[in-house]
Amino acid sequence: MKLHILSVFYICALILLLSYKAQAHRYIIDDEEEEGGEISLTNDKEVTKMLKELKKYRSQDKQQKQINQLKQLARELQKQVVILHNKLHECSNEEKERTEQEDTSANKTSIRHKRSIQNSAGTTGGATYIRWGRSTCPQGVELVYNGVGAGSHYTHSGGGSDYLCVPHDPEWGVTTDGFQSNSFLYGVEFEIQANNPFLTHNTPKLTTVHDQSPRCAVCRIPSRSSQVMIPAKMTCPASWTKEYDGYLMSSHHTQKKSQFVCVDKAPEVMDGGDGDQNGALFYIVEAQCGSLPCPSYLSGKEITCVVCSK
């Protein structure tokens, strides 16, 4: 901009100088004509110098304009580079998200496929069950832990309805002495009347398991993924594996409701667990004809049970 202003200034100055020189030449010519002499024109060094300066400033002004144009072009290119960089970043993020989604989907598909192959080949499992009345699991089955049966008191209308296999060595959290919550857990006792179908080879010193506390074991089957307790059966369906069989037991019909459990036909009991403590109770379940179809079922007969896996 400064070069442009200087150029205009020099042009105006040159015009004024040339005008002044023209007038001076005219006066000289007039004087010489009057004197009868010849007109002599010489190079004006000052004018020549100013023309050179003007040409120089014009050249610099042109270069400055070109530089400004190049700077403007550079700024435009820089803007385009920023836009392209942002677009590439967005595309990269979208591609990354799409790849992660594809990897996750492929991983889930692979896991499902692997599980399907393993299950079909019988190489994986994990089914668990409680073996009531025993402290060990069948051969080839993992013992998770063993313990003793527990549940709600038979006279209480509230509390849990299911029986639990509690471990021998409980771990305590934050406790407060005394009873505050009014929800209680008791040990289980067998209530065996005249009908005693159980084998005694695991209790050779006892004539009956009445008032004894049954043992229990939590078992895991590494090679099979399903398990089921079938009442009124002692054998498993074809292609299923028998874990154990025994007799169906539950609470008394006049007491609070409970679940049905399958107690091993040759139960073990806790040492020192005898005595009529009457906490949670196991009664042998008997068939009652009516809505239960007879003669397939017979009234008063003890119901068997079997636990099967596959």
Count CB atoms within 10 A of the CB of residue 258.
Answer: 22
CA distances from 159 to 156, 166, 281 (A): 7, 16, 14
Peptide bond preceding 295: is omega within 30 degrees of 0, i.e. cis?
yes
For position 3, what pLDDT does the model report? 47
Q: Judge contact between 149 and 156, C-beta under 8 A.
A: no
For position 87, what pLDDT does the model report? 82
pTM over 0.85: no
Candidates 308, 267, 249; CA nearest to 148 is 267
For position 41, what pLDDT does the model report? 41
Helices (H), the chain: 2-35, 45-121
**Low-confidence stretches of the chain (pLDDT beneath 50):** 2-3, 6, 24-25, 27-42, 117, 119-122
For position 70, what pLDDT does the model report? 80
For position 244, what pLDDT does the model report? 98
* Unique residue bearing structure tokens 């402290």: 135
Domain extents in the chain: 127-168+183-224+248-284
For position 148, what pLDDT does the model report? 97
For position 96, what pLDDT does the model report? 78
Length of the chain: 310
Question: Euclidean distance between the first and final Cα of the chain, in Å?
Answer: 93
